[in-house]
Amino acid sequence: MAEKDPDVAAFWAWCKERAAKRGNMTLAETRESFDAEMARIPLADNVTTESLSFGSVPVEKITPATATPGKVLLYLHGGGHVFGSIKSHRHFVSRLAVATKATAYHIDYRLAPEHPYPAAIEDALVAYRAILDSGIAPADLIVGGESAGGNLAAALLLKLKDEKLPQPAGLYLLSPWLDMTTAAESYEKVGARDPMITREGIVGVALAYLGNQPDNPLASPVRADVAGLPPMLIQVGSEEVLLSDSTTFANNAAMTGIDVSLRVWAGMPHAWPLFHPFLRAGLPAIDEVGAWMRKRLGII
């Protein structure tokens, strides 16, 4: 069991401490606290960062010294659509960029509840178009995201399909939140073990994200027609309530003939590679992503 692993047990305790500390925080305080906490994790070695924008969307460009020219990762951070930013996730994106040997573009899309659905999807689409307009071919581009960012990454590709725009070379999803409801099997079977996410928490952020809009396949990609999407890698932990989101989405994709690599990491909690300083399994998971992305992008 995961609780018997000292590495994971320590992380479980840390998660409970964080949850207790943030229990009485406002959303603004939670955003500031999370950004500050995660920003203390150093970037990967030998990368440069540049702040820019795609129209009104703030962007951080992260370029490893080993980056292959013309190969790009567009990354969409998690945080329940209500927190998270370039600051909180740049360390993780920098490691993905190094592992892939590609240049990463990491965007600060608009957050709910101030900017509910579909504002974040609109921002992601602006970024995708801007990358293509810069001369990057779709075959040289990967779209990725974790948790709510995984929701946004999947929704972006569905939006591309609707807009009849070219798909990227691949889709990377880490612990994606792909269903606005909480009816999935893993809420019952895994919920008691998840140290980070609760059914009540998902209900709250889903309401904030949707605002006055009804649930639909762009908000809950598990109910979308995914035919025509590119090959995908999905990583998910066995100890998270969102496990069914990944298994259902992977099954739906596989049924249409999409090349799907579903990797369920035993004993791991939600988005564990993001917390690689605390969990030893984080860096091997990042290496796995890098190898898959390099193969999709034709990087030797």
From CA 177, how far away is CA 81, in angstroms rounded? 10
Helix (H, G, I), strand (E, B) or coil at 274: helix
The DSSP line for 115-127 is: S-TTHHHHHHHHH
Told to judge if 91 belongs to the known catalytic residues of this protein, a careful annotator would answer no
Q: Which helix (H) or strand (E) holds 28?
A: helix 27-39
User: Distance between CA 89 and CA 106 in Å, rounded?
Assistant: 9
256 HSE (CA, 13 A, CB side): 16
Query: What is the rounded distance in angstroms from the CA atom of residue 162 to the CA atom of residue 104?
Result: 25
Q: Is 276 a catalytic residue?
A: no
Q: How many CB atoms are closer than 10 A to CB 25?
A: 13
Query: Tokens 């990087």 sit at which residue?
Result: 299
Whether 163 is catalytic = no
Best CA proximity match to 137, nearest among 40, 70, 213, 207 = 70
Residue of 147, 220, 244, 246 with catalytic role: 147
Q: Choose, from 85, 240, 244, 276, the residue flagged as catalytic.
A: 240
Alpha-carbon distance of 62 to 269, in angstroms, equals 27
Q: Which of 81, 89, 91, 270 is catalytic?
A: 270
How buried is 215 (Cβ within 10 angstroms: 0-12 exposed, 13-18 middle, 19+ buried)? middle
Backbone angles phi, psi at 18, to 5 degrees: -65, -45
Both tokens of residue 206?
């889903």
Euclidean distance between the first and the last CA atom of the chain, given in angstroms as a whole number: 38
Region of 35 (left: φ > 0; alpha: ψ -120 to 50; beta: rest) is alpha
For the annotated catalytic residues, the residue numbers are 147, 240, 270
